[in-house]
Structure formats: structure tokens, C-alpha cells
Amino acid sequence: MKSIGKMLAGVATAALLATPSAAEDMRIALVVKALGIGFFEAAAKGAEEAADELGDVEIIYTGPTDTTAEGQIEVINALIAQKVDAIAISANDTDALVPALKKAMQRGITVVSWDSGVAPDGRQVHLNPSSNPLIGNMIIKLAADNMPDGGEVAVLSATATATNQNIWIEEMNKVMGNYPGIEVVATVYGDDLADKSYREATGLMQTYPDLKAIIAPTSVGIVAAAQAVVDAGKVGQVNVTGLGLPSEMAGAIESGASKSFAIWNPIDLGYSATMIAYHLARGDAEAAPGAEIPMGRMGMLTLDDSNSGAMADPFVYDASNIDAFKSIF
């Protein structure tokens, strides 16, 4: 396996100055939204892990200098010229990349989107980090795991109209029967503003003095709620959980305001996207509704009617692993 490090972004020809690979090596380009972002550098580590495991893969890690569709289109066109075997891309624009990626597929290049999807016409498969039902179950499970005797929980969401937040909360409510003794007493909205989220979390603790957990499926809300718990002197009484970023939640884990939280693991994402691209390019898996594609240690990806699939449950971060991820994203 031969590896190419970070490319000089924005200059397509420079981004493709690759060391010649052995004829049998498959070249898979991992195209990210922009270079220099910890989340995507972690994904590149996962891609390298997959390449090491497969043994006949060369990873080309590339992307623009900023998160624009134009920058990614330039990179895609250069990869087409280099005749790579596969492109696995986290898209800056759902629709704008479609013409360039259609051109890639017409040239025989396998195209997979991951993390941030491309419209179906521009890719063969899309890898979602997780699914709405898995996320909904996870956010209540994280609270329940630290509430053996049950009790009151509240939800601090983003906006009342946030589609993804509302779907996750709806999915959470569907599985509440699996968590007897736990009662959701309120859902409030911080509008993804730190100060408003802080005030809403403080209000929840005042209104519900027996509150055991605040579930915030928003990276802004979860940090604000954790700070509110610390300032209220309720560490150990109210546990803050939900979806957050390790770099932003490390202090909350250290203080005890949060026992655990979840988000996708970018290493797993890069690994899985590479595995999917590899098996599709080899022709030993197909992109079709209901098909299953191997993802190595991550299991099988099952495709839905749009040729999309969910990788796994959100990854849980706690005191045992937060130090390993807090400097990554």
C-alpha cells in the first residue's frame, strides 16, 4: 500500500503529484470539504487503515483550501484526468458537484459520497454516518444508562423548526417504552445560540428540581447546558448528554457535568467509505436497493431505495476515550 499525504489544495495539478503506484494498486481518492480540518484528517487516518488492511490500495487524500463547490469541482476534474479508480467525497454542495461526478462515472470511476451527501445522480452510493432511528435511540440511551432508578429528563434542542433535531426527538419518543421509569418532562429550544441555550438549561433546572438529565442533540446546546449545570452547582445531580464534539465537550467530561455523549467517529467514516469504494470498484459488490456492501470491521452497509445506508450507531465518548479525540475535532 502506498500513501499520499495531504495535497497542495487549490492547485489541481499539484494535488495530483503522486508517486507512481504498482500496476495492481487501486487508487482511491478521499476528497474532503477542505484540507486542514481535524475531522477530515481523522477520516484520512481511517482510510489509511482500510488501505493497510486491504493491501492493494493507494489513498489519495485531497480537497480544496476552503469549503466551496468550485474548489471540489477543480479537484474532481484533476482526479478524472489522473484516471483514479474511485472517488469518495464529502460534498460541499449536494447538487453542484453532480455534473463533474457524472463525468467521472462515465469514465469508469466509482463514486461514493460520505458524511455530506451528493444527489443520487452524482454518485453510486451514499454513506450516512448513522440513521435517524439509531440517533434517536442513542440520545435517550445515553441518559438512561446513568439513571438506573429512572427519573425526569428534559430535551434542549436547537430551533423548533430544525428538521433533523425534530426527527431525532420523534425517534427518541418512539422508543421510550424501552426505558421504563424515565419521563421526558419538557422540550425547550435554544436556537443554537450559546446564551439562549444556557438560559433554557438553567430554566429547566429551576422548573424541575428533580431533573436527572438534559439531552441536547445539538453541539451548541450540549456545551451550554453543561456549563449551566456547573454554574448551578448540580454536577452529579444533572447529567448532560446528547450530540457534541470531543474538542468542545472535553471540559464537561472532566468536570463531571457530562458522563458521556455521542457523535460520529470520523476514523470509522473514512475507513468505511474506503471499503465501500474498494468493493464497488472491484465489482464484487453492487450499488442497488437492498444490496449489502462489506465495510470490514464495521460490518455490512445495507442500501435503501436511494442507494444510501447508515454506517453505525453514533460513537460514544466518555472519560475513557475523550483524550484521544479532543485534539482531532
* Whether residue 192 is found in the same domain as residue 288: no
Residue type, 189: Y
Pairing assessment for the beta strands 182-189 and 26-31 based on DSSP bridges: unpaired
pTM value is 0.84
Give per-residue pLDDT as tens, 250-281: 999 999 999 999 999 999 999 999 999 999 99
pLDDT at 1: 43
Identify the CA nearest to 78 among candidates 104, 97, 52.
Answer: 104
pLDDT at 12: 37
* Whether residue 109 is found in the same domain as residue 23: yes
Pairing assessment for the beta strands 260-263 and 315-318 based on DSSP bridges: antiparallel
* Whether residue 216 is found in the same domain as residue 304: no
Residue type, 16: L
pLDDT at 161: 87
Residue 329 in domain: no
* Whether residue 15 is found in the same domain as residue 164: no
Residue 65 in domain: yes
Percent of the residues in the chain that have a pLDDT greater than 90, as a whole number: 88
* Whether residue 25 is found in the same domain as residue 145: no
* Whether residue 68 is found in the same domain as residue 113: yes
Contact in structure between 203 and 229 (CB atoms under 8 Å): no
Residue 22 confidence (pLDDT) above 60: no
Residue 270 in domain: yes
In three-state secondary structure terms, 148 is coil
* Whether residue 125 is found in the same domain as residue 270: yes
Read out DSSP for 217-274? Answer: -SHHHHHHHHHHHHHTT-TTTSEEEEB--HHHHHHHHHHTS-SEEEE--HHHHHHHHH
Domain region containing 242: 132-263
Helices marked H in the chain — which ranges?
12-15, 38-54, 69-82, 98-106, 132-144, 163-174, 194-207, 219-231, 246-255, 266-282, 322-325
Single residue among 238, 263, 288 that ends a domain in this structure: 263
pLDDT at 157: 95
In three-state secondary structure terms, 62 is strand
Half-sphere exposure (CA, 13 Å, Cβ side) for 171? 17
Identify the CA nearest to 307 among candidates 179, 94, 141, 124.
Answer: 124
* Neighbouring C-beta atoms of residue 170, cutoff 10 Å: 12
Q: For residues 43-64, give the mean pLDDT.
A: 97
* Whether residue 164 is found in the same domain as residue 223: yes
Residue 14 confidence (pLDDT) above 80: no
Residue 137 in domain: yes
98-106 and 69-82 helices cross at what angle (nearest 10)?
Answer: 10
Set of cell numbers at residue 173: 419518543
Single residue among 222, 244, 263 that ends a domain in this structure: 263
What angle is formed at CA 304 by the lines to CA 217 and CA 63, rounded to 5 degrees?
65
Q: What is the DSSP letter of 55?
A: S
* Whether residue 225 is found in the same domain as residue 285: no
Identify the CA nearest to 295 among candidates 268, 315, 313, 316.
Answer: 268
Set of cell numbers at residue 15: 494535488
pLDDT at 221: 96
pLDDT at 17: 37
Residue 322 in domain: no
Residue 328 in domain: no
Question: In CATH, what number is assigned to the domain containing residue 258?
Answer: 3.40.50.2300
Single residue among 224, 248, 263 that ends a domain in this structure: 263
Residue 326 in domain: no
In three-state secondary structure terms, 26 is strand
* Whether residue 21 is found in the same domain as residue 137: no
Domain tally for the chain? 2
Mean residue pLDDT across the chain: 92
* Whether residue 125 is found in the same domain as residue 136: no
Residue 9 confidence (pLDDT) above 80: no
Worst-scoring range by mean pLDDT, 4-18, 87-101, 102-116, 193-207? 4-18
Set of cell numbers at residue 319: 472519560
Contact in structure between 236 and 18 (CB atoms under 8 Å): no
* Neighbouring C-beta atoms of residue 165, cutoff 10 Å: 22
pLDDT at 21: 41
Set of cell numbers at residue 44: 484520512
Give per-residue pLDDT as tens, 281-301: 999 999 999 999 999 999 999
Q: What is the DSSP letter of 321?
A: T
Give the whole-angstrom CA distance, residue 327 versus residue 23: 37
* Whether residue 9 is found in the same domain as residue 93: yes
